[in-house]
Structure 1
């Protein structure tokens, strides 16, 4: 018996939540095949089968809170039997849509070829969910594992997939309907042979070899659809298009592909002339559906949007940092002209040599490391009554995503070149947008840098990222009058801020550390000479 365990979690994470299982007890699985996702406070962690065999038992069902190394399931290690070929589906019948109550009404009279698609068991504190648009229409032929529909709870989006190859005959609940645990969403009809071969993996033969007699009034799509994620599927549904319509590279449609396609369509389509209408409700950047609540006493619209798990956990950590640390912030200003001149002079050659642009962040990372080497307490952390001085420099770079704030870490940043720093930051930013960050990308970190300037912030007081003891805040660059050699000149100036834990860092070290950062940035040659 092989155990499927929770992977080791980061130091700052103590638990994860089990999401929808891809496989069920009795299913055959292959080594490295996805079994289930675990949602932590920061990322979604994929758990795969450690060995080929039969999934014997699921010990941690959906919505269970688990910790590092806990056993999720057991696999019986053995070779699968000869794989079966899909059989012909039962002849289609008239497609119906029944909006009557569709609670669990299964009984002995149900046809053995009819499978009820149900709402999975919801968490104890969640009693209802809202239906999102269906991906399949009544009468559509589906394959095992195809996405049928998504439902939205106040915590996450759940995907409902087809358990067998078959035909979706009925849909009981449509977009916007409120459903509960185990409610019946639709009927899937399969052949008796298909049901009897549940424990045998089903593989569809090459498309030219498939010959299926299908009634003319049934819509069938045998084209191999590109891979998509939940965000992409929702975007295409809202735009009234299919993923196949979106130009893309490889076998996956990404969010950027949909945005590019939408921009091209908007350019080609002239804007229609519309009459003046009342001012709509303000747009928000959240990804969850808007839940309408009664208007305020003055008749104005408002909405309530539940926090996702990542944002909720970030809120807890920020409050914890303020309550358990004596946070103080010191400020300074930097003349960015030398760095801007250097970038302007060497940007073309740098980009040609390394295939990446020379940004400001690599200078700040290098300058911060110089300051941390001079004042090691800024690179330290505290636990109980001890101060831990780190002999390495793992710099966290705050990245804002639609789901919330994440801080991927540049390992041994003192050993990285400018080009390596820029490439790693670019890669982290792309992975964060696509929700592909791994647990190892977020673990540890001895010092963090956050850049509010990209959003236009002039000045702010960053909050610590525990257990770290200091964080550097960057801001926007504005031309300001400054005095140089008794004359007033205009220079591009950035205000910088260093927040630190005053329990272990004295004001002298914090101020001098920030001055060291300022000196390195205003004279970039100091970085090359390690001064």
Structure 2
């Protein structure tokens, strides 16, 4: 009996995506759970398996086309099975949905765009890019953003990172210092609604990873139970998955606080945008050697600017400043001797 290969509804508030690549051609034999197609959703790039043994009888969506959760992409069936009825039904439903969407778009547009003055490259705002744009706008419209800055001396952190057997990164040490600070100031490890503030008793740190496909924010689960070495390994694992477009929706779910390190791109400091529905995000700049005063003496030290953007509706500025000072002390207090 013929079965429909559909885009699954993930349960992570995703609604649409893009069909990236067919791994099989129409007419190919496929086994149940064999990967058949690649779809980029709003949060990840996933391979979808065949729902049954059989043949890829009919491809209904071409590479590059937009898709919605629950949409039928292809028909899997026996080699000689009559699939005309199911194809007609699925095609009719898709055309009806497309017509409704086009009608809605026409009603929302009162004017035609002006012609371009020169050559223009069009980059479709779909999948991860579209989700990023929508989330950034939603965050600015939802939260009362405030940002506070500080700077930290990375002398001890860099010495420890260099001396460690596995050559852990300074970022891993900053993550650890951040979690320690969140334990003291749990209000920053929260989310909120119109009626309540939810302070999370667990610590899952979301790490912003920029790739050619867009910005991904995978989550280091139970960060408080991990050593700096384990945090470093998990950062590498999630970063590799993000670069390859292999992150699963669960890899980016349930974050409680975010960290964005723009220092890797040369930025000294910046103002990060809160990753909704979280309430705060730590920004980390580039580590730069600068002259600073230490015990009334001028010394050259590796310094880094750090900042926190926070939702001022629920988090007082004074608490945020104390939190950031605690992060600073955690970074500076790391002992090269362990």
Once the two structures are superposed, the pairs formed by residues 346-385 of structure 1 within 5 Å of their partners are 346-347=163-164, 350-351=165-166, 357-385=167-195
Distance in 2 separating the partners of 1:331 and 1:362: 20
Does the CA-based 8 Å contact 2:219-2:251 persist in structure 1?
Answer: yes
- Larger mean Cα displacement after TM superposition, 44-53 or 456-465: 44-53
Which of the residues 484, 487, 494 maps onto 2:304? 494
Which of the residues 298, 301, 304 maps onto 2:121? 304
Residues 1:325 and 2:143 are matched in the alignment: yes
Residues 1:406 and 2:216 are matched in the alignment: yes
Q: Deviations over 1:427-477 (max 9, x none)?
A: 222222222222222223111111111111111111111111111011112
Q: 1:448 to 1:4 in 2, by over 3 A?
A: same
Which of the residues 306, 311, 317 maps onto 1:507? 317
Q: Shift of the alpha carbon at 1:323?
A: 1.5
Does the CA-based 8 Å contact 2:308-2:320 persist in structure 1?
Answer: yes
Corresponding position of 2:133: 315
Distance in 2 separating the partners of 1:332 and 1:516: 11
Does the CA-based 8 Å contact 1:10-1:443 persist in structure 2?
Answer: no
Max radius of gyration: which structure?
A: 1
Q: Shift of the alpha carbon at 1:341?
A: 2.3
Corresponding position of 1:40: 41
Does the CA-based 8 Å contact 2:160-2:335 persist in structure 1?
Answer: no
Corresponding position of 1:418: 228
Distance in 2 separating the partners of 1:505 and 1:481: 34
Q: 1:40 to 1:512 in 2, by over 3 A?
A: same
Q: 1:364 to 1:74 in 2, by over 3 A?
A: same
Which of the residues 53, 57, 67 maps onto 1:65? 67
Once the two structures are superposed, the pairs formed by residues 450-529 of structure 1 within 5 Å of their partners are 450-525=260-335
RMSD between aligned residues: 3.2
Corresponding position of 1:338: 156
Q: 1:10 to 1:339 in 2, by over 3 A?
A: farther
Does the CA-based 8 Å contact 1:448-1:470 persist in structure 2?
Answer: yes
Does the CA-based 8 Å contact 1:18-1:66 persist in structure 2?
Answer: no
Q: Deviations over 1:387-408 (max 9, x none)?
A: 2222211111111111221111
Distance in 1 separating the partners of 2:67 and 2:331: 46
Q: 1:373 to 1:10 in 2, by over 3 A?
A: farther
Q: 1:49 to 1:416 in 2, by over 3 A?
A: same
Q: How many pairs are equivalent?
A: 304
Q: 1:334 to 1:38 in 2, by over 3 A?
A: same
Q: Shift of the alpha carbon at 1:54?
A: 4.5
Normalized per residue, which structure has more helix?
Answer: 2
Does the CA-based 8 Å contact 1:10-1:444 persist in structure 2?
Answer: no
Please, what TM-score do these two structures have when normalized by structure 2? 0.78
Does the CA-based 8 Å contact 1:461-1:499 persist in structure 2?
Answer: yes
Q: Shift of the alpha carbon at 1:417?
A: 1.9
Distance in 2 separating the partners of 1:385 and 1:25: 52
Does the CA-based 8 Å contact 1:399-1:432 persist in structure 2?
Answer: yes
Distance in 2 separating the partners of 1:72 and 1:306: 24
Q: 1:493 to 1:391 in 2, by over 3 A?
A: same
Distance in 2 separating the partners of 1:496 and 1:415: 24
Q: 1:29 to 1:335 in 2, by over 3 A?
A: same
Does the CA-based 8 Å contact 1:28-1:55 persist in structure 2?
Answer: yes
Distance in 1 separating the partners of 2:168 and 2:288: 20
Residues 1:386 and 2:196 are matched in the alignment: yes
Does the CA-based 8 Å contact 1:308-1:403 persist in structure 2?
Answer: no
Query: Aligned with 1:304: secondary structure?
Result: coil
Does the CA-based 8 Å contact 2:289-2:303 persist in structure 1?
Answer: yes
Does the CA-based 8 Å contact 2:273-2:309 persist in structure 1?
Answer: yes
Distance in 2 separating the partners of 1:443 and 1:497: 24
Q: Deviations over 1:23-53 (max 9, x none)?
A: 6787642112223332212432211013313
Does the CA-based 8 Å contact 1:377-1:389 persist in structure 2?
Answer: yes
Please, what TM-score do these two structures have when normalized by structure 1? 0.52
Query: Aligned with 2:269: secondary structure?
Result: coil
- Larger mean Cα displacement after TM superposition, 398-407 or 47-56: 47-56
